[in-house]
């Protein structure tokens, strides 16, 4: 049964973020031939996952003590994510990667404004809420949104190929008078509309990927930001701090920030003498913009 207080969403990729620490001393102690063999095995797997139309893989060199490497996995299902995780864990390279954090979510397009429009239209049709006819009409309108070309493309867009990446989880507060889930729907919808305007004001400068994680992980949403200039992350997140949806109701977890790099640059990352690059061939891949 549809709950009129609950905004609908469209769901796409299943997403797994994994953060690791690289044992550089252990890696450096290996002979060059052994390093090359381990690297080739990992590159072959990573490249295959990145090319497969049913999966995607992003690599980022992390800054700070919270990790050295972040792998972002996209798949069509949780089962496929499990297979990707197991295949990565079987690599010889995993002997030198210490798992630190992970995050499970599903790419989400929130439909606050559209859900309100559905309720209004069905009310205008004179349909009784939650009747069989009401539910059928609701599902049909929602399905139409899922197949709208722009939405369909966004649900299964590839990982954005932009140099800088930032990931963080967040919640909506549930604290006394500041309980997001006890706030009337119309008020929440208005706040989310204003919240969205801030994000859209950075169009072209940053690519945002929002994923839902309620019931999947410790936080309620995961946010990935991708840009060609890391300063954009600071400006965007700071601007959103003044938005009521964030200022009053937002709670934020840890932030992971770093530089995306191409699978072919894995050896550069492992060597540690230079920052691995995001190559032009990768940047040419289609991405959510």
Q: With beta carbons less than 8 A apart as the criterion, state whether 73 and 15 touch.
A: yes
Sign of CA dihedral 219, 220, 226, 232: negative
28-31: long-range contacts at Cβ-Cβ below 8 A with a sequence spacing of 24 or more? 28/272
Coil, strand, or helix at residue 60?
strand
Q: How far apart are CA 149 and CA 289, in angstroms?
A: 14
Catalytic-labelled residue, pool 74, 112, 164, 168: 168
Cβ-Cβ contacts under 8 Å for 61 (sequence gap 6 or more)? 68, 69, 258, 259, 261, 269, 275, 276
Catalytic (active site) residue 168: yes
Coil, strand, or helix at residue 129?
coil
Sign of CA dihedral 110, 113, 117, 123: positive
Angle at 25 between CA 23 and CA 27, to 5 degrees: 70
Question: Which residue numbers are catalytic?
Answer: 168
């Amino acid at each position: 049964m549809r709950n009129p207080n609950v905004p609908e969403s469209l769901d796409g990729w299943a997403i797994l973020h994994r953060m690791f620490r690289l044992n550089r001393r252990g890696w450096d102690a290996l002979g060059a031939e052994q390093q090359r063999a381990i690297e080739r095995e990992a590159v072959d797997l990573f490249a295959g996952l990145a090319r497969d139309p049913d999966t995607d893989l992003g690599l980022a060199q992390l800054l700070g003590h919270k990790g050295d490497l972040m792998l972002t996995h996209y798949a069509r299902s949780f089962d496929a994510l499990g297979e990707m995780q197991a295949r990565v864990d079987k690599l010889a390279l995993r002997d030198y990667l210490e798992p630190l954090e992970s995050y499970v979510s599903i790419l989400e397009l929130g439909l606050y404004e559209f859900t309100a429009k559905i309720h209004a239209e069905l009310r205008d049709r004179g349909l009784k809420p939650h009747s069989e006819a009401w539910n059928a009409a609701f599902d049909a309108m929602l399905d139409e949104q899922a197949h709208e070309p722009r939405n369909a493309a966004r649900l299964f867009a590839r990982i954005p190929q932009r140099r800088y990446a930032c990931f963080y989880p967040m919640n909506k507060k549930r604290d006394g008078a500041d309980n997001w889930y006890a706030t009337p729907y119309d008020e929440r919808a208005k706040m989310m509309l204003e919240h969205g305007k801030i994000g859209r004001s950075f169009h072209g400068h940053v690519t945002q990927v929002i994923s839902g994680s309620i019931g999947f992980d410790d936080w309620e949403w995961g946010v990935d930001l991708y840009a060609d200039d890391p300063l954009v992350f600071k400006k965007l997140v700071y601007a959103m701090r003044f938005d009521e949806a964030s200022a009053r109701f937002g709670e934020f977890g840890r932030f992971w920030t770093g530089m995306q790099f191409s699978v072919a640059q894995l050896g550069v990352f492992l060597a540690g003498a230079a920052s691995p690059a995001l190559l032009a061939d990768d940047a040419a891949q289609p991405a959510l913009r």
